[in-house]
Amino acid sequence: MVSLIEERDKMTKKNVVASNTKSAINMAITVAAAAANSSLFTMAALKPPVAPGSFFTILQRKLIQNLEINGAARVNAWVDSMRASSPTHVKSTTPSLSEDQSSWILRHPSALEMFEQITNASKGKQIVMFLDYDGTLSPIVEDPDRAYMSDAMRTTVRKLARYFPTAIVSGRCRDKVYSFVQLAELYYAGSHGMDIKGPSKGPKDKNDAQSVLFQPASEFVPMIDKVYKALFDETKSIPGANVEHNKFCLSVHYRRVDEKKWSELAQLVKSVLKEYPKLRLTQGRKVFEIRPTIKWDKGKALEFLLESLGYANCIDVFPVYIGDDRTDEDAFKVLRDRGQGFGILVSKIPKDTNASYCLQEPSEVMNFLQRLVQWKKMSLQRQGKKLSLR
Ligand SMILES: O=P(O)(O)OC[C@H]1O[C@H](O[C@H]2O[C@H](CO)[C@@H](O)[C@H](O)[C@H]2O)[C@H](O)[C@@H](O)[C@@H]1O
């Protein structure tokens, strides 16, 4: 079986082939979408060339109506999904939970309440921790540049990493997430897993060159830079919009944009991306995320890190992934498919997820991590083992 690490060197080549095939498909989709979106197309290309009332004219009129209805529906669908992308509270104001909420909680119970079952399932196995950053280790805030992690959380993660191999997996640029976490002993997978680095090899490791493990999207850097500039210029006209450069990917934030401007922003972003079929657009928590169309995501990064740690085909490993966002679902799915460890979704509201458990917010994440540390400490003490501190 070819391992992910062996595959690493072949990635760039494969990506080019995959993206070329995809570009043809994307091109077709883009052309169709552009045609359906363009009022010029509906007005000029479908302008009745024959007598009014003829079958052809009626057909054309119907087509125009459908395109207009579909166009409006498409914009509404985008705005709806923008609105749903980061709900801040549970809609129901009644004290009792709805049937849907109760059945969701039964299927995804609190990781704190199930702590004993979780640790029992991990017995005899090596726990490996994967932690998303925004919304998991730090609360969601208005300004992405000020998403600081509390000292208490940092201390907890530092202790956690003494007992278990620990990785931070984030959509952010690796340097940025490192500047928030500031723990050199961790693994980091920035840019949605497209920039993987091991623990720092000490002061001689200039620019962390020795500890960079994998960057499957390097060839996209010039394109990402170009799109960053275009999006930066285009979105200047929308107050509150903010484009974040995450090295191998980009984020366009709309948390501080007036809802009335959302559809305009979505259209602007989509129109810039029309020129770049090798990039894909997804949505996170009040953010558009733009990434290369390579077959790499947080799930692949998780597998790559397990392999780097020597747990590729190991049955005695118990990976735990904690995250709050849609991109974390790729990692939850990998764990579900492997039947190893589990995912924990950080959310106050029921969401479609491949995670097994839930925690409501970063403070509960910290509580869970502290209990893990405590549990491990106690079980080592019971076995008469002392932890050799790094
Ligand atoms: O994978 P993650 O570490 O969760 O990164 C996903 C995005 O997180 C950041 O944006 C989110 O958090 C911001 C700060 O709380 C918030 O203002 C924004 O609305 C959220 O979407 C980050 O800035 C993005 O680049 C990441 O893609």
Inform me whether the pLDDT recorded for 171 exceeds 70: yes
172 pLDDT above the threshold of 50: yes
Q: Is the dihedral of CA 205, 225, 269, 13 positive or negative?
A: negative
Average pLDDT (220-243) is 98
Active site residue 132: yes
Is the confidence at residue 211, as pLDDT, over 80? yes
Give the residue, out of 138, 175, 283, 287, with the most ligand 1 atoms within 8 A of its beta carbon, to mutate for a pocket test. 287
Beta carbon of 362 within 6 Å of any ligand 1 atom:
no
Do 166 and 143 fall into the same domain?
Answer: yes
- Closest atom of ligand 1 relative to the 246 alpha carbon: 25
Domain boundary, last residue among 63, 84, 107? 107
Residue 22, domain member (yes or no): yes
Give the integer Cα–Cα distance in Å for 54 and 51: 6
Q: Which residue owns the Cα nearest ligand 1 atom 8?
A: 134
Single pTM value for the model: 0.81
* 200 and 53 in a common domain: no
- Say how far apart CA 81 and CA 78 lie, in whole Å: 5
Both 134 and 206 in one domain: the answer is yes
Answer yes or no: do 87 and 197 share one domain. Answer: no
Closest to 139 measured CA to CA, from 373, 371, 341, 346: 346
CB atoms within 10 A of CB 9: 9
Q: 336 and 199: one domain? A: yes
Asked if residue 55 belongs to a domain, the reply is: yes
Q: What gap in Å lies between CA 360 and CA 113, rounded to an integer? A: 12
Between the two ends of the chain, the Cα-to-Cα distance in Å is 34
pLDDT band of 132, cuts 50, 70, 90: very high
Choose the catalytic residue: 9, 80, 100, 132.
Answer: 132
In a domain, 158, yes or no: yes
The answer, yes or no, to whether residue 95 has pLDDT greater than 90, is no
Regarding whether 196 and 124 lie in a shared domain, the answer is yes
CATH code of the domain containing 336: 3.40.50.1000
Q: Is 141 a pocket residue for ligand 1 (Cβ < 6 Å)?
A: yes
Over range 28-39, report the average pLDDT.
34
Q: Considering the domain boundaries, does residue 244 fall inside one?
A: no
Question: Does ligand 1 have an atom closer than 6 angstroms to the CB of 297?
Answer: no
Same domain, 326 and 303: yes
Same domain, 17 and 133: yes
Task: Tell me, yes or no, whether 272 lies in a domain.
Answer: no
Confidence of residue 56 (pLDDT cuts 50, 70, 90): very low
Residue 37 within a domain? no
> What is the number of structural domains in the chain?
2
Arithmetic mean of pLDDT, 322-338: 98
Ligand 1: which atom is nearest the Cα of residue 134?
4
Q: Among 62, 79, 107, which residue terminates a domain?
A: 107
Q: What average pLDDT does range 317-324 have in this prediction? A: 98
Q: What is the pLDDT of residue 162?
A: 98
Same domain, residue pair 85 and 200: no
Q: Which atom of ligand 1 is nearest to the CA of 135?
A: 4
Residue 366 is part of which domain span? 4-27+108-216+295-388
Q: For residue 70, what pLDDT band results from cuts at 50, 70 and 90? A: low
Residues 196, 307 within the same domain: yes
- Cα 144 to middle of ligand 1, angstroms: 6
For residue 44, the model assigns a pLDDT of 28
Distance of CA 285 from the midpoint of ligand 1 (Å)? 7
In a domain, 383, yes or no: yes
Ligand 1 centroid distance, CA of 98 (Å): 30
pLDDT over 70 at 293, yes or no: yes
Average pLDDT, the chain: 84
SS3 letters for 325-375? CHHHHHHHHHHHHHCCCEEEEECCCCCCCCCCEEECCHHHHHHHHHHHHHH
pLDDT computed for residue 84 by the predictor: 74
Q: 279 C-alpha to center of ligand 1: Å?
A: 19
Tell how far the Cα of 179 is from the centroid of ligand 1, in angstroms. 15
Final residue before a domain boundary, out of 107, 122, 145: 107
Task: Judge if 90 and 57 occupy the same domain.
Answer: yes
Q: Judge whether 255 lies within some domain.
A: no
DSSP structure string for 87-117: --S-S--SSSPPHHHHHHHHHS-BTTTTHHH
- For residues 352 and 324, membership in a common domain is answered with yes
Which comes out higher in pLDDT, residue 349 or 35? Answer: 349
